[in-house]
Amino acid sequence: MDIVTRAKINLFAVLRNLQELCTLDKASQEAIKDANLSVGFKVPSVGEATLVFKDGKCTFRRGDSKSSLKLIFLSAEHFNKLIDGGKTIPIFFNVFQAGFLLKTFITLADRLSYYLQPEKTPAFKDQPEKLAELLKDQEYFNISTTLTACTAFFALCEVGNSDPIGKLTAARIPDGVISCTVKGGPALNITVGKDHVMTAALGEVSDWRASMEFADMQFASDILRGKTDTFTGMGTGKFAIKGFVPMLENMAKLLAQVAFYLK
């Protein structure tokens, strides 16, 4: 596993999900309703990003941006340790805002884990029956599937741009836009640009070169969690592909690598 690629996934795919979390989850909305600050992250060899909390919303911005609280990490490994829940302290700028991290940010991180990896949270660890009951809750299931999809497709781009094997796979994908939609759920798109650099964004697009569509949230969840495969989906009509199929074949290889990084 490439440590820098993993840090990029944690910063630009996992952490960016706080934007969607604060839109979808009522507890997270409550946690940030009075917040009015921005938190910047700087990680060597990885990059920078900023989370802006204002007017009850959270906005993720990639790249350097002015922030009221700046967190500087010593290395990619240092940042990964924080995301993994390890005991580590970044370098602070404007320590007077640190209270936000100790309370609100931890609350948001816990809510994100609750949706993305409930099996690892204390409430459900080693309790499969309790976890199975949680997954029957339709609101929880929809939020969890949406966040999982966003994480997976944004992470896919980081693998294609950074991981040594992923870069070889990305080099085989021609320029163009790939549309990824889930009926009744999220819509995302991936752009392969100059030098095969990949970027992901939310929303539907009409100028795609290849597209994949999941028939419902349940099948999207089963695919993303490795419970079924695309061939089964095509056979049952739950998964449809259009356009320049080789783009999707190579994207599927990158998605398989994402599962390795996020397990």
Instruction: Indicate the pTM of the whole model.
Output: 0.91
Q: Does the pLDDT of residue 90 top 80, yes or no?
A: no
179-183, 226-230, 237-241: the lowest-pLDDT one: 226-230
- pLDDT of res. 179: 96
121 compared with 110, residue with greater pLDDT: 110
CB 48 within 8 A of CB 42: yes
Nearest CA among 123, 104, 142, 131 for reference residue 18 = 104
Q: 168 by DSSP, 3-state: which?
A: helix
Q: Mean pLDDT across the chain, nearest whole number?
A: 89
pLDDT at 63 over 70: yes
Task: Please compute the mean of the pLDDT values over residues 87-108 and round it to a whole number.
Answer: 73
Q: Is 96 a residue whose pLDDT tops 60?
A: no
What is the rounded distance in angstroms from the CA atom of residue 109 to the CA atom of residue 243? 38
Q: Using pLDDT thresholds of 50, 70 and 90, give the confidence band for residue 91.
A: confident
Closest CA to 38 of 9, 10, 24, 18: 18
pLDDT tens per residue across span 9-58: 999 999 999 999 999 999 999 999 998 989 999 999 999 999 999 999 99
Higher pLDDT, 49 or 125: 49
**Digit-coded pLDDT (tens) for 167-191:** 999 999 999 999 999 998 999 999 9
Rounded distance between C-alpha atoms, residue 229 and residue 222, angstroms: 8
Average of per-residue pLDDT across 66-80: 90
Q: What is the pLDDT of residue 256?
A: 86
Residue of 201 and 83 predicted with greater confidence: 201
Domains along the chain? Answer: 3-135 (3.30.1050.10), 155-262 (3.30.1050.10)
3-state SS class at 93: strand
What is the pLDDT, as a whole number, of residue 76? Answer: 95
Please report, rounded to a whole number, the percentage of residues in the chain having pLDDT higher than 70.
96
Q: In the chain, which residue ranges form alpha helices assigned H by DSSP?
A: 3-9, 18-24, 26-32, 76-83, 98-100, 106-116, 128-135, 138-162, 164-170, 217-224, 230-236, 245-262
Dihedral sign, Cα of residue 263, residue 254, residue 5, residue 40: negative
Res 82: pLDDT: 83
Across 75-84, 95-104, 144-153, least confident range = 95-104
Residue-level pLDDT at 98: 65
HSE value, Cβ hemisphere, 13 Å, CA-based, for 226: 8
Question: Which residues does 118 contact at the CB level (< 8 Å), separation at least 6?
Answer: 124, 131, 134, 144
Residue 95: pLDDT band with limits 50, 70, 90? low
Write down the pLDDT at residue 211: 94
